[in-house]
Amino acid sequence: MEYRRLPGTEMEVSTVGFGLWSVATPWWGRFTDAQAIRLLRRARDRGVNLFDTAPGYGQGRGDRLLAEAFPGSERSELVVSAKLALHPSRPRGSPEPSSSPGPLLEDFALAGPPYDQGAIERQVEATLTRLGGSEVAALEIHNPTLRELGDGTLLGAMEGLVRSGRVRSWGVALGPSIGWLDEGLWALDHGADHVMTVYNLLEREPGDTLARWAGARGKGIFARVPHASGVLDGSLPARGHYPAEDHRALRDPAWLQRAGETVGALRPHTEARGRTLGELAIAALLAEPAVISVFPTFLTEEEVDRYGQVDRLPPVTPEESQTIRGRLQAIPSEVTTP
């Protein structure tokens, strides 16, 4: 496993991270505690030390699973990324949360946005209690709008948490759809150490712009959805339709189908060079120096084994990156969600 520095700290994090959204929520299937813990420990055995959790992942279940999987001194070996939960169901650019989050996000939606200092403090303390630790390496504001960021409360809270030693670095986690460029740029210009965003070979923006911006400022990017919701790892169902209870059902099936029909252009960069398509998707992101770590949505031990060793594959060179970009120019970069 390759490791890179977490901006704002001297900590080294694995270039492949584990997002607990996959095992703590029912969005990609239902995991028992034992199944989830087995997968988490498998990832650690393969060199993964970066684990990303959030209060909305099963109403704190992600935090509790992490604490149970790595008790005692094992917890100190981890680099934990946690989140300050705002409301997830708001569309990009909308000033206030939607009144109804919908069935896929019911567990995610907590009791409204924590805008005031007291609520922020209480949420962070609750997260630390569930995790069984006194600090987290990274704290990300989950889905903030530009108005919320500019209010000053969130920025002041992040700076205070770092000063208190409970948080080592802070950033913003943007989504669920791609977009949110202004929020990411604002955060990077106002002290954020990192941004988490949807970023993959088929959905390059806002990741490309954020990566350039972050790199020029000594900051970093966490890339999630590296496999474009199944398009780049071979798990996409026929006609791009996922079951209604699957989180990927939020994606536009027409785009998924269209994108799936174009990935043949990537064949010269896969088997002939000793990589599967899924491995190429991760290696291509790690070719970007500003990318700190990539978060596949791990569902099986086989995926953990395969993507946890992606650094052993031939790296994607800058020249190859340019060739890949040229081959994929016809694929649209923006994906909307209902």
The neighbour count for residue 274, using CB atoms within 10 Å, is 10
Place of tokens 């987290």: 136
Residue 332 within any structural domain of the chain = no
Residue 72 within any structural domain of the chain = yes
65-79, 145-159, 210-224, 235-249: the lowest-pLDDT one: 235-249
In this prediction, residues 10-26 reach a mean pLDDT of 96
327: which residues sit within 8 A by CB, 6+ positions away?
Answer: 265, 266
Residue 333 within any structural domain of the chain = no
In the predicted structure, residue 220 carries a pLDDT above the cut 80: yes
pLDDT tens track for 181-218: 999 999 999 999 999 999 999 999 999 999 999 999 99
Residue 66 within any structural domain of the chain = yes
Domain that holds residue 30: 3-327
In the predicted structure, residue 332 carries a pLDDT above the cut 60: no
- CATH code, domain carrying 155: 3.20.20.100
Residue 286, classified by CB atoms within 10 Å of its CB into exposed (0-12), middle (13-18) or buried (19+), is buried
In this prediction, residues 282-309 reach a mean pLDDT of 95
Dig out the tokens for 108 from the structure.
């995610």
Residue 335 within any structural domain of the chain = no
Q: How confident is the model at residue 109 (pLDDT cuts 50, 70, 90)?
A: very low
The count of structural domains within the chain is 1
User: With contact defined as beta carbons under 8 Å apart, do 198 and 249 qualify?
Assistant: no
pLDDT > 90: percent of the chain: 58
**What is the model's pLDDT at position 338?**
31
Residue 139 within any structural domain of the chain = yes
Residue 216 within any structural domain of the chain = yes
- Higher local confidence (pLDDT), 310 or 323: 323
Residue 337 within any structural domain of the chain = no
Q: What is the mean pLDDT of the chain?
A: 86
